[in-house]
Amino acid sequence: MAPPLTLNKDPSGKPVNVTAYRGMIGSLLYLTGSRPDIMYSTCCKLDRKSTTRGCQLLGGKLVSWTSKKQNLVSTSTAEAEYKAAGSCCSQVLWMRNQILLDYDLQLSKIPIYCDSTSAISIANNLVLHSKTKHIEIIYHFIRDHVMNGDIELHFVPTDYQLAGLFTNLLDETRFNFLISELGMLNLED
């Protein structure tokens, strides 16, 4: 879906056939398993919860992706991005420990790209400050893995954030750019 088109609740709209509506939404949700670019558009964003998105690449090719609403409303963008980085960290470590070790690949300093300098600063600062005390302790495990050298957090501008494909409304040019960067083919071409 190209911007500025959005799917939102229309309380003043005319009534629709509930069965047909549920069928259409069900079809859209089914497609989200194979079309991550429509995931965000088909989920209602009325609850103010941030959406964690991430993608993991191996050899420059997409091997795993996620797009999931966070359980709680974040009090800041930095908190939401920090939680997303923690989620990506856990997925990367799982892949390293469960899959790559089977092939005798010992990886360290695995890069994670984040478009929030605040989230990167929180993860790199090993002191728990009063400004981060509201973040659940479970998300602070990322600090240990930064300190141990398991992962490295790097800044990437939002326009080049590959995971933006999973939550942002994009014009055709940006969409095709991100698809190609993920190593995916656009079968519509």
| Average pLDDT, integer, range 122-141 | 70
Instruction: Please check the confidence at residue 183 and state whether its pLDDT lies above 70.
Output: yes
CA geometry: angle 65, 69, 70, nearest 5 deg: 110
Contact 145, 105 (CB under 8 A): no
Among 39-43, 58-62, 171-175, the minimum mean pLDDT is found in 39-43
The residue with greater pLDDT, 28 or 182, is 182
Q: Output the pTM of the full model.
A: 0.66
Instruction: Please check the confidence at residue 79 and state whether its pLDDT lies above 70.
Output: yes
What the chain holds in terms of domains, given with CATH numbers, is: 18-181 (3.30.420)
Residue 152: band (very low, low, confident or very high) from pLDDT cuts 50, 70, 90: very high
Helix (H, G, I), strand (E, B) or coil at 49: coil
Return the pLDDT at 39: 53
Whole-number Å distance between alpha carbons of 175 and 127: 39
Neighbours of 1 (CB within 10 A): 14
Mean pLDDT of the chain: 76
Return the pLDDT at 20: 84
Instruction: Please check the confidence at residue 38 and state whether its pLDDT lies above 60.
Output: no
Helix (H, G, I), strand (E, B) or coil at 170: coil
Selection from 59-68, 75-84, 142-151 with the highest mean pLDDT: 142-151
Return the pLDDT at 48: 64
Return the pLDDT at 155: 94
Selection from 38-42, 90-94, 131-135 with the highest mean pLDDT: 90-94
